[in-house]
Chain A
Amino acid sequence: MNPLKWALVEPFYKLAIGEDRKGQINTIVKMVGLPIAGLLVFLMLWQGAASNINTSLGQFPGPVQTYDQFVSLQEEATAEAVKEEKFYQRQEERNARKLEKNPEATIKVREYTGPPTFFEQIWRSLVTVMSGFILASIIAVPIGIIIGLSSNAYSAVNPLIQIFKPVSPLAWLPLVTMVVSAVYVTDDPAFDKAFLNSMFTVLLCCLWPTIINTAAGVATVTQDLKNVSQVLSLSWWTHVRKIVLPCSIPMMFTGLRISLGIAWMVLIAAEMLAQNPGLGKFVWDEFQNGSSDSLGRIMVAVIVIGIVGFFLDRGMLIIQKAVSWDKSSDIR
């Protein structure tokens, strides 16, 4: 890897060493200037539109109010951290007193019981979405390979996939909720039921693109390769491992990337309804609060949801590029 060859660095480097100055400036303007111009125009339009929309909760938040709310969310998080520290201190003292009274007493150190801050909610959303997505992938990839290998299995399963694929998460959620509360009965639950509800809803919605794309990827194995496998009389397992998997990986990752995008979209809705701490619940709670700051805070969440979604997608793209053997193809 040569950093000087990176798309972001190259034109600056070339400009610095004086190679084709005009061409480099053009590249830089296109790469940096145009996105910034687009952003500025958007901010202006946003500000203009916002000042003309009056809701019963006050004016629609413009970029400035949204930024202010972001700052105030940060301040709240700092204040909460102080409270958290005091909570642990009090707990420690209480435990010490308990031990003094009865040295055999069992002492437990608890997590802070206060409300999660905005930033903790981002983190919790990420944990939920990744758990649902990884579980879905573990289920979807083998199914995709099996139905890709056998056209009979494909004909049997395909109608089901086509029917379940377009189902909205909101339709699944009540069923998931009831099933989870009926099946998951323990005295000391390791997972919150609300977490399981939103995770399974995410799982159900993001299975399908991975299955379909994996199956399609498996189907791209050329007859030549299949012949090679037959000539060498490879076992079924080796055939899958050495020939089918490498061939289908680019398509599989296309599917995974679509799945993760869907998972993130579904998660926000699922959290709103399942009351699972996270960005979705944050938006819903703020809507219910109806204070004069609420709209600004929701706007902060909207932007954060977008940015996180963008980074998730970029992350998948990098993996997709890294595992794709066909480096000549343009993946974007």
Chain B
Amino acid sequence: MSINTGRRTFLKTTALAVSVAMGSLAYSAGAYALGDAEKEDLKFGFIKLTDMAPLAIAYENGYFEDEGLYVQLEAQANWKVLLDRVIDGQLDGAHMLAGQPIAATIGYGTKAPVITPISMDLNGNAITVSNKTWKAMKPHVEMEGDKPKHPISAAALKPVVESYKDAGKPFKMGMVFPVSTHNYELRYWLAAGGLNPGYYAPHKGDSSGTLDADVLLSVTPPPQMPATMEAGTIEGYCVGEPWNQQAVFKGIGVPVISDNSIQKNNPEKVFGLREDFYEKYPNTTIRVVKAMIRAAHWLDAENNKNRPAAVKILSKPNYVGADYKVIANSMTGTFEYEKGDKRSEPDFNVFFRYNATYPYYSDAIWYMTQMRRWGQISEQKADSWYKDMAKKVYRPDIYKQAVEELISDGTFKKTDFAGVFESDGFRGVQDDFMDGIPYDGSKPNDYIDSMKIGLKGSKQL
């Protein structure tokens, strides 16, 4: 009996010793081991849009928990509430419009240092017009057989807007926030078709963005877009999914162009958090980014194989909550324009491919050039100012640490992140805009001056 006990104790101790040894072995495998999260209970906000998917997936697939994080996800009423709650600390971080951290840092709107350690997705928006407007627009749209030829230029909308002007009526469209990607995309599309979307003049206290406008743009929260258009308050809008597809399902409007056709693979949502949060909780921040990279990878893995499962999660009422088939339309690689005109759009939402998660400085600078173009930045700034601001907001340094951790964990291979470690944060010259004007992120002022409609040089309103 006593021998038996002795043996058992011996076995136990050896097992313990071995496991401790193996534990320390695994521990020293990384170049430097990332410490435990300093703050484990986190609350993140999001807006009901399909591109919040990386957060939902990181939660549902347990990626946050794998990092020792206990995250609560909470839908927010609108983008302003969401940003304010991040700034005053009710939320630890949130799904944000790419323009929000930039605008908060340069002080357009609420001023507060907000940073972006990871980009959440590319593309995912579209412009939809009401049935009435589509009917008036369609005769001016170039046809390909019995279907309209894509991409549709805003030039087709111009005669409609002019007929409104002749009748003395304003032509109104909706976008989701003054510094939203949607605002800049809608403005880009309108301006590329020869329509002026109007200027902002914050130094004069004018934040409506309708000076000299042909088309009046106003703010509506994404989930209310279809209802607002149905009520006739606006004639069209630019918004993320599922609110364009919902207009098709409800039979109240027709999407005319996806943002992927305005600029190929344009950066869309980012994850934003306060700068002091990162300074106080660096390990937590890196762990959050790790979990989100894993989620983004899962979403795009093996040619969108997991998308149907993702759509099922997103259609739960606590996430996006729209019907499965509405969300599935765009998330699974197709997009329905006119009812029945379903087209293949494999890149309508991109979460991981094309280094979608990398926060590029040049993307931040593109948004700033648009802020300058439409007067939100009221005076001329030097090229160096654009770069300094971009480096303050976009933080590839944090992103790269998370990637290194994922590689040393063995979750990913270095080849999964081709070009990430070599990149200086600039994409180089980009030549994939619908109007063919090339963009070089290292020369923002030259780019601003190359636009046909918009403020140029030192012009001030």
- Binding between chains A and B: yes
Residues of A that sit less than 8 Å from B by CB: 56-57, 76, 90-91, 94, 101, 108, 110, 113, 115, 181, 192-194, 273, 275, 284-294, 297
Q: How many contacts A-B (CB < 8 Å)? A: 71
Among B70, B71, B76, residue most surrounded by chain A Cβ atoms (within 10 Å): B70
Contact of B75 among A194, A273, A285 (CB under 8 A): A285
Contact yes or no, B77 A275, CB < 8 A:
yes
Tell me the complex Cα distance, A113–B221, Å: 26
A57 proximity list for chain B (CB < 8 A): 250
Q: Is the CB of B23 within 8 A of A290?
A: no
Residue ranges of B at the interface with A (Cβ–Cβ < 8 Å): 23, 40-41, 48, 59, 62, 65, 68, 70-77, 81, 88, 90, 221, 223-224, 226-227, 230, 246, 250-252, 315, 317-318, 320-323, 326
B40 touches A291 (CB 8 A): no
Q: A108 CA to B40 CA in the complex, in Å?
A: 10
Least CB separation from B221: chain A residue: A288
A268 to chain B, nearest CB (A): 15
Check B65–A94 contact: CB distance below 8 A: yes
**For residue B321, which residues in chain A have a CB less than 8 angstroms away from its CB?**
285-286, 288-291, 294
The answer for the CA separation of A115 and B224 in the assembled complex, in Å, is: 23
Q: List 5 A-B contacts (CB under 8 A).
A: A56-B227, A90-B62, A286-B317, A289-B317, A291-B321
User: Do B315 and A291 touch across chains, with their CB atoms under 8 A apart?
Assistant: yes
User: Nearest residue in B to A285 (C-beta to C-beta)?
Assistant: B75
User: CB-nearest residue of chain B relative to A294?
Assistant: B321
Q: Which residues of A contact B81 (CB under 8 A)?
A: 275
Say yes or no: B65 contacts A290, CB within 8 Å. Answer: no
- Asked if B48 and A288 sit within 8 Å, CB to CB, the answer is yes
Closest chain-B Cβ to A184's Cβ sits at a distance in Å of 10
By a CB distance below 8 angstroms, the chain A residues around B251 are 56
Give CA–CA (A90, B323) in the complex, Å.
31
A297–B317 CB distance below 8 A: yes
Return chain B residues, CB-CB under 8 Å to A290.
Answer: 223, 226-227, 246, 321-322
A56 touches B226 (CB 8 A): yes
CA distance in complex: A286, B70 (Å): 25
Q: How far is the CB of B41 from chain A (nearest CB, A)?
A: 6
B316 CB → nearest A CB, Å: 8
- Write the nearest CB–CB distance from B337 to chain A, whole angstroms: 19
The residue in chain A whose Cβ has the minimal distance to the Cβ of B320 is A289
When A94-B65, A285-B317 are in contact, do A56 and B230 touch as well, CB less than 8 Å?
yes
Q: Which residues of B contact A294 (CB under 8 A)?
A: 321
* Distance to closest chain B CB from A101 (angstroms): 7
Q: Assuming A56-B250, A56-B252, A181-B88, is B74 touching A289 (CB within 8 A)?
A: no
Contacts A56-B250, A289-B317 given; indicate if A194 touches B65 (C-beta within 8 A): no
Among B246, B251, B252, B317, residue most surrounded by chain A Cβ atoms (within 10 Å): B317
Which of B81, B226, B252, B318 has the most A CB atoms < 10 Å from its CB? Answer: B318
Report A109 CB to chain B, min CB distance, Å.
10
Smallest CB–CB gap between B458 and chain A, Å?
38
Q: List residues of chain B with CB within 8 A of the CB of A291.
A: 315, 317, 321-323, 326
Whole-angstrom CA separation of A109 from B390 in the bound complex: 40
* Complex CA distance for A56 and B243, rounded to whole angstroms: 13
Contact B223–A288 (Cβ < 8 Å)? yes
CB-defined contacts of A90 to chain B, threshold 8 Å: 62, 65
A308 to B250, CA, bound (A): 34
Q: Which residue of B48, B71, B250 contacts A289 across the interface (Cβ within 8 Å)?
A: B48
Q: In angstroms, how far is the closest chain B Cβ from the Cβ of A43?
A: 26
State how many angstroms separate the Cβ of B288 from the closest Cβ of chain A: 14
A132 to B106, CA, bound (A): 40
With both beta carbons as reference points, the residue of chain B lying nearest to A286 in the complex is identified as B317
Residues of A near B48 (CB, < 8 A) are 288-289
A54 to chain B, nearest CB (A): 11
Tell me the nearest residue of chain A to B45, going by C-beta: A275
Closest chain B residue, CB of each to CB of A284: B77
Residues on the B chain within 8 Å of A286, using CB: 317, 321
A240, B87: Cα distance in complex, Å: 49
- Measured in the bound complex, the distance between the Cα atoms of B75 and A115 in whole Å is 10
* Bound CA span A297–B316, Å: 13
Q: Is the CB of B74 within 8 A of A275?
A: yes
B166 to chain A, nearest CB (A): 31
The CA-CA distance from A108 to B37 in the complex, in Å, is 13
| Cα of A286 to Cα of B321 in the assembled complex, Å | 8
Bound Cα distance from A181 to B321, whole angstroms: 30
- Partner pick for A110 among B70, B76, B90, CB 8 A cutoff: B70
- Residues on A with beta carbons closer than 8 Å to the beta carbon of B230: 56
A193 to B246, CA, bound (A): 34
Known contacts A94-B65, A288-B221, A289-B322, then 15 further A-B pairs from the complex at CB < 8 Å, ordered by chain A residue: A56-B250, A56-B252, A110-B70, A192-B90, A194-B90, A273-B77, A275-B74, A275-B77, A286-B321, A288-B75, A288-B223, A289-B317, A291-B317, A291-B323, A291-B326
Give B12 Cβ to nearest chain A Cβ, in Å: 13
Which residue of chain B is the closest to A186 with respect to CB atoms?
Answer: B89
Instruction: Knowing A56-B250, A285-B317, A289-B321, say if A113 contacts B72 (CB, 8 Å).
Output: yes
Most B C-beta atoms less than 10 A away, residue of A194, A284, A289: A289
Complex Cα gap A293–B325 (Å)? 13
Give CA–CA (A310, B48) in the complex, Å.
Answer: 33
